[in-house]
Structure 1
Amino acid sequence: MKNRIASHVQQLQPSGIRRFFDLAANMEGVISLGVGEPDFITSWNIREACIASLHNGHTSYTANAGLIELRTEISKYLMHQFNVDYRPTSDIIVTVGASQALDLAIRAIVDPDDEVIVIEPSFVSYAPLIELAGGKAVKVGANPDKGFSINFEKLTASITSRTKAILLCFPNNPTGTMLTKEELIQISRIVEMHDLLVLSDEIYAELSFDDAFTSFATLPGMKDRTILISGFSKGFAMTGWRLGFVAGPSDIVEAMLKIHQYAMMCASTMAQYGAIEALKNGRKDIEEMKKSYKRRRNYFVASLNEIGMPCHQPGGAFYAFPSIKQTGLSSQEFAEKLLIEEKVAVVPGDVFGKSGEGYVRCSYASSLEQLQEAVKRMERFVKNYR
């Protein structure tokens, strides 16, 4: 058979993040600052709750939307932490990671040729998911000279009659940038003026270091326009559990649930029991992890600036996004040569969009000792190419 693979799938590029992770995995002595994953193990009480669910024979499907106990705890969590109110019976779906929540949301709202604005640099899956749904990702570059904050002139100019939604991720992956409440309000005015929806990826909300996190749905008039996407991977150190959730207007959630029923049935039952425990009794562990990340951020970003890799102070997540322009190397060249010559793995900035060229993403979700050694190697490397 000819054309066995759908043309729109053939055109998709593999994840640039995974490529460098795979390269590093086959080399000895590599310090990986590449993959965005906490270096903490899921807390024992959460693991124990999962084990107990197996002992108790909870091995069947749950409701498509997830255990009502878990949805209730998610509802309480969102109200307590971020002051946003969602009904567990109709406004929340438990998903297989935040990634599936995002996929469901895009497929539920995007018609063929609809446009979704993506602020770049952005996570690698955003544009492909929009395109797989038949939509068009309209990429708007952030302001690198202002800590990768939103360029409002470019944002407004990018809106057309086909624009359906804006996709936001703050704290941002890959830049770590936080938006102020004033900036979010400015976005909300644009959203209301042009009758748009907002896909708000808040997976890093728990990892906001300097300023209080503001959920976009809490802004005046925005709850009915916001699809809130989050999960347990980052804040609760539960990446391998693959558990996320979405909260939003009931009509959109109902549409997402229809897709979820056919595509996935439900999220892992035992993982859901672990998540219930995480929400009930996980606050102390989150705060300890957050303090550790902040200490690492302060050391690592200061060190990058000292060795000649200019970097803004990220307000959240666990990423630094330093400039490598002074080396004269492209982002791809820098990452490849650094891996081969000094055995430090970073992700080239251009995999996050054209506006990421000239930068690399470094995850500081590693021990302080590893970060210190990585800085020594990176300093030696930068001196050779300066």
Structure 2
Amino acid sequence: MKFSKFGQKFTQPTGISQLMDDLGDALKSDQPVNMLGGGNPAKIDAVNELFLETYKALGVDNDSDVPNSSAIISMANYSNPQGDAGFIDALVGFFNRHYDWNLTADNIALTNGSQNAFFYLFNLFGGAFTDEQNESVDKSILLPLTPEYIGYSDVHVEGQHFTAVLPHIDEVTHAGEAGFFKYRVDFDALENLPALKEGRIGAICCSRPTNPTGNVLTDEEMAHLSEIAARYDIPLIIDNAYGMPFPNIIYSDVTLNWDDNTILCFSLSKIGLPGMRTGIIVADAKVIEAVSAMNAVVNLAPTRFGAAIATPLVENDRIKQLSDNGIKPFYQQQAKTAVTLLKKELGDYPLVIHKPEGAIFLWLWFKDLPITTLELYERLKEKGTLIVPSEYFFPGVDISDYQHAHECIRMSIAADEQTLTDGIRVIGEVVRELYDKAQSK
């Protein structure tokens, strides 16, 4: 049986497919596995209790035990391709209430998760175009700061259309301690990219906070990116899967802005509903029309179950309260715990940690690691501990001669404290042995 080029592209091994396969295998394993590799959010009691309470309330009227027909209608019928109208209206009210963006329902579309959203957006703005002279030109998506999200890498229908910029790496302190670094956008390199100057960039995209590193681009960096996008008449796409206003896993003081040239992407996954597969796009009406049309072809309509649960939480602002007072403090404490454990295990070894500024990961840099982190990943997996190696997080970059891209790992901090402790102990044992053997030669 032969597949088309499209089929061959999406059936070849990829970083994201390996990650999801390993996570699935670990869940089925009869042996204990320290799950520090995935993007699944933590099981937070207060979060789960609120979702269960909301779910139960969907089934009955407020004043009786009579089945709630509106909830049944929501889940037993298709929405239009733009998504559940009630949830969209609730989101319009929420964003206008908190940010004064003057949105209408024409500015929001729903997708089956944010991965689905980026499949649409990257193929809308990257790939083959026709210029003013009716000649074909290939445009790519510009990633202004790598490393970036593993799931971006393989979503293009044809080829891999990314242009990426490597970061400035600054040594910084965190909570008064040394042993940390931070990535910053190299704007000199970015603005001098031939692809940008020659009109071969279709959009700029960044995640905030960044998956995998937990880096949060500053307001000044975001304003500069917005100005560049406007100057070249291309959209700025911002992935807020871990960011403001929900789940708001950001520890620095930053703002969230939107205008007609900005596309904001949100998700219900990291507030604790990854199985609901509900993504949210806020954009100019023309972009929303395009996404809705793609929804109709690919999905008929987005799922409505996540919308049904989230609508009342958005209407009464409990989703924001939950994020600010429950989710963000939980991960901030998890990061503190993980840093303490890592320094205990590897404090005398060449480990540098990206400053924890948000998201649900720590990004660990093992300077001059004797093996690649792809090899380290395999050794840790043999010992029942899953992480993600850094090599997968540099779409659009030739990393063959970029040593830094082979020396880092992404480690989830969403696990329970015992799993976090056990996993970091295994990481410590394996990494210490590697450095000690190299030192003894």
- Normalised by the size of structure 2, how large is the TM-score? 0.79
> Could you tell me which residue of structure 2 aligns to residue 225 of structure 1?
261
> Could you tell me which residue of structure 1 aligns to residue 122 of structure 2?
106
CA distance in 2, matches of 1:189, 1:266: 34
Partner SS state of residue 132, structure 1 = coil
- Map 1:228-247; keep pairs closer than 5 Å: 228-234=264-270, 236-247=271-282
- Asked whether the equivalents of residues 304 and 311 of structure 1 are also in contact (C-alpha less than 8 Å), the reply is no
> Could you tell me which residue of structure 1 aligns to residue 388 of structure 2?
347
- Equivalent in 100, 104, 122 of residue 148 of structure 2: 122
- Map 1:129-140; keep pairs closer than 5 Å: 129=155, 131-132=156-157, 136-140=161-165
* Residue 381 of structure 1 pairs with residue 407 of structure 2: no
Which string of whole-angstrom CA distances, capped at 9 and with x for unpartnered residues, describes residues 12-43 of structure 1? Answer: 73524224424544361211101111122642
- Asked whether the equivalents of residues 81 and 293 of structure 2 are also in contact (C-alpha less than 8 Å), the reply is no
> Could you tell me which residue of structure 2 aligns to residue 318 of structure 1?
360
> Could you tell me which residue of structure 1 aligns to residue 288 of structure 2?
253
Instruction: Indicate the structure (1 or 2) with the bigger Cα radius of gyration.
Output: 2
State the aligned residue count: 377
- Asked whether the equivalents of residues 125 and 140 of structure 2 are also in contact (C-alpha less than 8 Å), the reply is no
Greater displacement, 280-289 / 93-102 = 280-289
* Residue 194 of structure 1 pairs with residue 235 of structure 2: no
Partner SS state of residue 358, structure 2 = coil
Partner SS state of residue 94, structure 1 = strand
CA distance in 2, matches of 1:2, 1:31: 39
Greater displacement, 146-155 / 291-300 = 146-155
Which string of whole-angstrom CA distances, capped at 9 and with x for unpartnered residues, describes residues 167-214 of structure 1? Answer: 110101000100111111121222223222111111111333322342
Shift of 1:269: 2.4
CA distance in 2, matches of 1:253, 1:134: 25
- Map 1:44-59; keep pairs closer than 5 Å: 44-51=52-59, 56=69, 57-58=72-73, 59=76
- Equivalent in 27, 31, 34 of residue 34 of structure 2: 31
Identity, in percent, stands at 20
- Equivalent in 199, 205, 208 of residue 161 of structure 1: 199
- Equivalent in 319, 331, 335 of residue 282 of structure 1: 319
Partner SS state of residue 184, structure 1 = helix
- Normalised by the size of structure 1, how large is the TM-score? 0.89
Which string of whole-angstrom CA distances, capped at 9 and with x for unpartnered residues, describes residues 330-354 of structure 1? Answer: 111111112213x221111111124
CA distance in 2, matches of 1:335, 1:100: 28
- Asked whether the equivalents of residues 209 and 359 of structure 2 are also in contact (C-alpha less than 8 Å), the reply is yes
Shift of 1:227: 1.2
CA distance in 2, matches of 1:4, 1:24: 32
- Asked whether the equivalents of residues 109 and 252 of structure 1 are also in contact (C-alpha less than 8 Å), the reply is no
* Residue 94 of structure 1 pairs with residue 102 of structure 2: no
Structure 2, unmatched stretches of 5+, are: 62-66, 129-137, 171-180, 436-441
- Asked whether the equivalents of residues 70 and 273 of structure 1 are also in contact (C-alpha less than 8 Å), the reply is yes
CA distance in 1, matches of 2:305, 2:385: 36
Greater displacement, 138-147 / 343-352 = 138-147
Greater displacement, 147-156 / 166-175 = 147-156
Amino acid at match of 1:62: S
CA RMSD of aligned residues (A): 2.4
Amino acid at match of 2:123: R
Q: Aligned pair in 2 of structure 1 residues 105, 49: CA closer, same or farther (>3 Å)? A: farther
Greater displacement, 23-32 / 268-277 = 23-32
Greater displacement, 165-174 / 114-123 = 114-123
* Residue 293 of structure 1 pairs with residue 328 of structure 2: no
CA distance in 2, matches of 1:324, 1:255: 44
- Equivalent in 42, 45, 61 of residue 78 of structure 2: 61
Partner SS state of residue 269, structure 2 = coil
CA distance in 2, matches of 1:80, 1:322: 39
Which string of whole-angstrom CA distances, capped at 9 and with x for unpartnered residues, describes residues 214-270 of structure 1? Answer: 2242xxxxx111111111111x21100111111100111112211111211222223
Shift of 1:125: 2.3
- The structure in which a higher percent of residues are strand is 2
Structure 1, unmatched stretches of 5+, are: 218-222
Greater displacement, 320-329 / 299-308 = 299-308
Partner SS state of residue 276, structure 1 = helix
- Asked whether the equivalents of residues 20 and 347 of structure 1 are also in contact (C-alpha less than 8 Å), the reply is no
- Equivalent in 372, 384, 387 of residue 330 of structure 1: 372
Shift of 1:117: 0.7
CA distance in 1, matches of 2:60, 2:148: 39
Shift of 1:326: 4.2
> Could you tell me which residue of structure 2 aligns to residue 220 of structure 1?
none
Amino acid at match of 1:13: T
CA distance in 2, matches of 1:83, 1:203: 21
Q: Aligned pair in 2 of structure 1 residues 226, 300: CA closer, same or farther (>3 Å)? A: same
- Asked whether the equivalents of residues 251 and 332 of structure 2 are also in contact (C-alpha less than 8 Å), the reply is no
Which string of whole-angstrom CA distances, capped at 9 and with x for unpartnered residues, describes residues 60-119 of structure 1? Answer: 11222122221111122223445534212x111121111222222233333511121123
